[in-house]
Amino acid sequence: MVLHPFPSSLVLGVVIPDTTNSLPVTTIGDEAFEGDLYLTSVTIGTNVTTIGNSAFEGCFLLTGVEIGNGVTSIGDVAFAGCYGLTSVTIPNSVFSIGQGAFLGDGYNLTNVIIGNGVTNIGGWAFENCLSLTSVTIGTNVTTIGAGAFQFCSSLTSITIPDRVTSIIGDFPFEGCFGLTNAIIGNGITSIGEGMLAACYNLTSVTIGINVTNIGYGAFEDCPNLTNITIPNSVINIDIQAFYGCTSLINITIPKSVTSIGYQVFQYCSSLNGVYFQGNAPSTDWSVFDYNNNATVYYLLGTTGWSDLANNTGVRTALWLPQVQTSGASFGVQANQFGFNINWASGQTVVVEACTNLFNSVWQPVQTNTLTGGTSYFSDPQWTNYPGRYYRLRSP
């Protein structure tokens, strides 16, 4: 049996029965209580399996809803604009939350628990739930729709479980201004457009190990983002992915990355070091635009850095100081063991030595400043310690 719209708007508390006229009530029809300005509470019977589209939309005074354990789907905008709701528990029986189901539930909805039966959170399901501080995403959720938590400005942290394999659409957490920490689970392979854009207080992001693409503007305008690790699975970093991340100081780009879109690090005014583990990716001249502090560091033996420097105008330097083991400079000369050190021009390198790697005590031997990117190290104590081991470090 389907429960259809009530003829009267003077409804206060409602209990949806298990049966009526000896027939089970299985569905709350589309728009059944839409716009009822007097409805304050709803208890839904255990035989109800479907809450229809707009069933309780615009019930401004609705403060409490008890969703029965038989409900399997919540329709589009079913509880949208229910400004009085303070908390919602979605039982394990529910497998689908429709688009905009709780959209715009304003300043009172603070807590949502999404049961373990839910597999799909529809687009804009909780958009503009401005006071939502806590969301628990069930372990069986596999899909989160576009804008699902957009502008939930009071959320402070979010964890996307490994079970989630797809975020369909863009901007799912855009404008979550209070968000400080985000964990993107290992099930996600692509971070979509604007996923965490304009999360002004976001400081740290953990990206799952199966992500291959970081989308357009994914972390754009996150001015407090200081810490992010890009996993070795990432191949492409799309346009403006980190645009305007003004607190980002250092970032490491794994060797898997082959393409970086234009303006990816534009207006990252604090960015000092971009550390590449592989060859120079294909990119655009504007990738470091309006960023005068950045230096691109690369490893010896990798390629493409002169082209990148010419195309972008960014400074490039060897990432780690390198010992030149070939050529006449390496070896014993005039009873001193020596070698050339190559690194960025003007950098300072401390050479340390020890005689036993198993019980090592490293002692500084010499501090070298690399004028023109190279410096010669010579150990005057070599004749006394011919079995020495050496290592390089920054001062």
Same domain for 315 and 368? no
Residue 188: which CATH number?
Answer: 3.80.10.10
Same domain for 298 and 196? yes
Instruction: For 216-241, write each residue's pLDDT tens digit.
Output: 999 999 999 998 999 999 999 999 99
On whether residue 101 sits in a domain, the answer given is yes
Pick the last residue of a domain from 319, 335, 362.
319
Same domain for 102 and 83? yes
Same domain for 293 and 273? yes
Instruction: For 263-281, write each residue's pLDDT tens digit.
Output: 999 999 999 999 999 999 9
Same domain for 206 and 295? yes
Task: Decide if pLDDT at 328 tops 90.
Answer: no
State the pLDDT at residue 105. 87
User: Per the structure block, which two tokens stand in for 8?
Assistant: 């009267």
Q: Please check whether residue 251 is in contact with residue 227, taking contact to mean a CB–CB distance below 8 angstroms.
A: no
On whether residue 74 sits in a domain, the answer given is yes
Three-state DSSP class for residue 287: helix
CA-to-CA separations, 222 to 180, 202, 251, 266, in angstroms, rounded = 10, 6, 15, 13
Give the residues across from 296 on adjacent strands. Answer: 274, 316
Q: Name the residue with tokens 């645009």.
A: 243
Same domain for 175 and 27? no
On whether residue 299 sits in a domain, the answer given is yes
Same domain for 311 and 347? no
Task: Decide if pLDDT at 11 tops 70.
Answer: no
- How confident is the prediction for the chain on average, in pLDDT? 91
Provide the number of structural domains found in the chain. Answer: 3
On whether residue 133 sits in a domain, the answer given is no
What range does the domain containing 328 cover?
322-393
State the pLDDT at residue 163. 85
State the pLDDT at residue 10. 53
Strands (E), 120-212: 120-121, 134-136, 143-144, 157-160, 166-167, 181-184, 190-191, 204-207
Same domain for 315 and 338? no
Same domain for 262 and 359? no
Residue 332: which CATH number?
Answer: 2.60.40
State the pLDDT at residue 134. 83
